[in-house]
Amino acid sequence: MMRAEIDKMSKMRRAGVLLHPTALPQGVLDENVELFLNWMAQAGLSVWQMLPLGAPHSDHSPYQAYSAYALNPALLPENLSTVTVDEDNLLTFIQNESAWLDDYALFVTLSESYDNRPWSEWPIPYRYRHKDALESFSTENKDRLHGLKRQQYLLFQRWQEIKEIAHQQGIILFGDLPIAVSYDSADVWAQPGLFKLDEQLRPTVVAGVPPDYFSETGQRWGNPHYNWDKMESNRFAWWRARMAGALRQFDLVRIDHFRGLQALWEIPATAETAVEGRWVKTPGRQLLEALRDDFPDMPFVAEDLGVINAEVEALRDDFGLPGLSVLQFGFSGDSDNPHSISNQIENSVVYTGTHDNNTTCGWFNALDPELQHQVLQQLPQDAGSMPWPLIEAALQSPAQTAIIPMQDWLALDGEHRTNTPGTTENNWVWKFSWDQVSAQLTEKIRDRLERNQRTNSKGSI
């Protein structure tokens, strides 16, 4: 699918599904990907949205990865890990991706050598990247380094194959770019000057969000903050390269925590919670101008949830970026609530809920009966039992794109939610199974999409 075709699709009413690849039946990029894309096309769905594809830390959060570029090795099917590769193609990949791949392979190998401790606890020659030490280590571990690069080659090859199959089915891939990178990552280790670190290379401030709907004490993510002066000095070369990498994987990219491009919540590194943080302005406008030079069609979506002010809205609107609305947030009764059904707009992406929300059934079941009645009164009638009234409201919305989490298409309860913000247990582990997906459900989805002019024209039953 050419960029012009993708741009044309972006102007059409469409619907999709939010499902991270780790939530596929086997949690890997095996034949279930093709089955899933076939199912999407049959159901009339044309957008597959997912979370960041990087290798996560032990908490499994895709927003805390060891590299801003590398794909998660856990996604590689076992049968692909041993295939014979074209050595010339592999060498070309290694050369083309050397700007991040060399550091990634070194980082992983060093981490393995030191019991997976953070790089800030490695011996000084490696922590501070002494050239002789790294060259000697690379020579001693050349087989492991080569193996890691080969692994990334296989993952990238498989992903490009998936992207091509999706395009053949009339489906675009909608990815996610985290606003921040993990401190314990190849990115920070390789270029510490781009981050606010002290002389011992430890963060002076860390990222997060203030108290909100999800947490009374806010969220202390722990990611280091950017040294924006340094980044701006070469017109955001680091960000532009990172976005170029994302757009090789995806057709459309969600900029996570978009409000951070106007101001980020800086928390003292010594603070235990996010309460002690403060807003610090960032040069997001200049960054977006640089990205627009590289990507004139601006294939981005602004994740504008949280504490949003007029400046954030102006930044989003001045660049023509779609924002998000989440219907679960739309029943506060406030007339200016951007998530309410009556305030939906065309240039936006509407959700029943996101990966951080409860499933729609779980959310609705947790409401008291009076509030349940008030919610139902505002939703389309005769849509069936939950989650279908909320799904129907999303499909009827003027928003160009409607995204429904897989759990909601399957009408699953709160036991199946993806993530509970502010917690570390039982997150990012849910998977669906094909016995949950009936032919009747596929037909039902397609019928709903057709009635709301959101059908993937290439799909058929």
pLDDT tens sequence across 68-81: 999 999 999 999 98
- Could you say which of 303, 304, 392, 408 is catalytic? 303
Average pLDDT, the chain: 95
- Could you say which of 34, 289, 356, 443 is catalytic? 356
- Could you say which of 97, 176, 187, 256 is catalytic? 256
What is the reported pLDDT for 244? Answer: 98
- Lowest-confidence range among 50-54, 119-123, 226-230, 422-426? 422-426
- CA 373 centroid distance within chain: 34
368 in catalytic set: no
pLDDT > 90 in the chain, percent:
89
Domain ranges of the chain: 191-321
What is the reported pLDDT for 2? Answer: 63
pTM for the complete prediction?
0.95
CB neighbourhood size of 58 (10 A): 8
CB neighbourhood size of 95 (10 A): 9
Question: Above 70 in pLDDT, residue 86?
Answer: yes
pLDDT > 70 in the chain, percent:
97
88 in catalytic set: no
What is the reported pLDDT for 461? Answer: 31
Per-residue pLDDT tens over the stretch 177-207: 999 999 999 999 999 999 999 999 999 999 9
Per-residue pLDDT tens over the stretch 226-239: 999 999 999 999 99
Question: Above 60 in pLDDT, residue 460?
Answer: no
What is the reported pLDDT for 223? Answer: 95
Question: Above 60 in pLDDT, residue 141?
Answer: yes
356 in catalytic set: yes
